[in-house]
């Protein structure tokens, strides 16, 4: 081994010891999307556009910006368009090149080079916990990231990067949470936690979709997680819970240590029609080229 190779080897080794290896990421995207029917009958919810990009592209861009280069997407029947979106399209690329559309060519090429993307199918939609269990072999024995395929986030430091850093600091599973109003607690997994420092809680209990009268807090799990691999054993032992589904929250409640971090940024849940529409509009208004035209149109509609 020459001097340079030896140095690289030592850096690699020390990174591994300190746990700086890039984490793998799992994106569950196999759900039926029933709240979006009829759009989602043959079209994946995760492929619905938020202004100019499919939702799941924002999710993968956040993963890449967080230092992740290995992404496993859990898909199902009728979700082939997700794979096609991140694949090369030689015919399209040749056409763009021949017509001198080099900007578009760059966009299309970059999309297929974002990360190493792998796919596995969830055969039956038995719930989020079951979807994550499909990733067991791919993930192996290391902590891993989970990013819901229908949640988009905006922040200076990417939400997932914030969680990875915290997970390393606490040597623990970590989840992102957000304060929700009372009328929304029945829609989310809610934590019961003890504050350990600014906006960080040690989680004592987790409840999926509690009744308002039984809510332990207003801090809702918002779709970004760093999880330790023992979770897979707990999913195996988890019976169907809320909605008859194998809930990730129920399995996470058995983890020996979970911290929750109040997300310093904004999240967008595109899992229902109204929030999806609002998100698309908000993102469109950040496009300076078309902002005025869109605002004029909104004013016209209001009139």
Which residues would be at the binding site for ligand UTP (CB under 6 A)? 28-36, 45-46, 74, 122, 125-128, 130-131, 148-150, 271
Q: Identify which of 164, 177, 173 has the alpha carbon closest to the alpha carbon of residue 64.
A: 164
Of the pair 31, 193, the CB lying nearest ligand UTP is at: 31
Angle between the 102-112 and 90-98 helix axes, to the nearest 10 degrees? 160
CB of 78: closest distance to ligand UTP in angstroms?
A: 12
Of the pair 71, 128, the CB lying nearest ligand UTP is at: 128
* Unique residue bearing structure tokens 């909104």: 298
CB of 46: closest distance to ligand UTP in angstroms?
A: 6
Of the pair 31, 172, the CB lying nearest ligand UTP is at: 31
Could you report how far apart the first and last alpha carbons of the chain are, in Å?
75
List CB contacts of 115: < 8 A, sequence separation 6 or more.
60, 63, 64, 68, 69, 70, 71
Residue 274 CA to residue 280 CA, distance in Å, equals 10
List CB contacts of 153: < 8 A, sequence separation 6 or more.
62, 159, 224, 263, 265, 266, 267, 268
CB of 11: closest distance to ligand UTP in angstroms?
A: 37
Of the pair 30, 180, the CB lying nearest ligand UTP is at: 30
CB of 127: closest distance to ligand UTP in angstroms?
A: 5
Of the pair 96, 139, the CB lying nearest ligand UTP is at: 139
CB of 204: closest distance to ligand UTP in angstroms?
A: 24
CB of 147: closest distance to ligand UTP in angstroms?
A: 9
Rounded to 10 degrees, what is the CA torsion of 181, 185, 188, 190? 100
Of the pair 122, 172, the CB lying nearest ligand UTP is at: 122
């Amino acid at each position: 081994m020459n001097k340079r190779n030896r140095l690289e080897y030592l850096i690699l080794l020390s990174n591994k010891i300190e746990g700086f290896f890039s984490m793998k990421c799992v994106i569950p995207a196999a759900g039926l999307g029933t709240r979006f029917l009829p759009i989602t009958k043959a079209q994946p919810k995760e492929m619905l556009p938020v202004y100019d990009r499919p939702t799941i592209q924002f999710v993968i861009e956040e993963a890449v910006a967080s230092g992740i280069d290995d992404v496993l997407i859990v898909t199902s029947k009728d979700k082939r368009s997700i794979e096609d979106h991140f694949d090369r399209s030689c015919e399209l690329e040749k056409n763009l090149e021949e017509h001198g559309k080099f900007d578009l060519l760059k966009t299309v090429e970059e999309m297929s080079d974002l990360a190493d993307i792998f796919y596995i199918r969830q055969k039956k939609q038995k719930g989020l916990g079951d979807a994550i269990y499909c990733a067991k072999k791919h993930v192996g024995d290391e902590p891993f990231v989970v990013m819901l395929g229908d949640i988009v986030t905006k922040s200076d430091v990417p939400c997932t990067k914030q969680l990875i850093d915290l997970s390393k600091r606490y040597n623990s599973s970590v989840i992102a949470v957000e304060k929700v109003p009372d009328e929304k607690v029945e829609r989310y997994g809610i934590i019961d936690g003890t504050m350990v420092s600014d906006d960080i809680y040690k989680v004592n209990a987790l409840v999926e979709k509690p009744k308002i009268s039984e809510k332990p807090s207003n801090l809702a799990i918002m779709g970004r997680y760093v999880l330790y691999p023992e979770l897979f054993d707990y999913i195996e032992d988890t019976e169907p819970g809320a909605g008859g589904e194998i809930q990730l929250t129920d399995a996470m409640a058995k983890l020996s240590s979970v911290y929750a971090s109040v997300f310093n940024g904004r999240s967008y849940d595109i899992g229902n029609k109204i929030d999806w529409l609002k998100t698309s509009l908000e993102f469109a208004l950040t496009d300076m080229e078309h902002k005025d035209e869109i605002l004029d149109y909104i004013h016209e509609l209001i009139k």
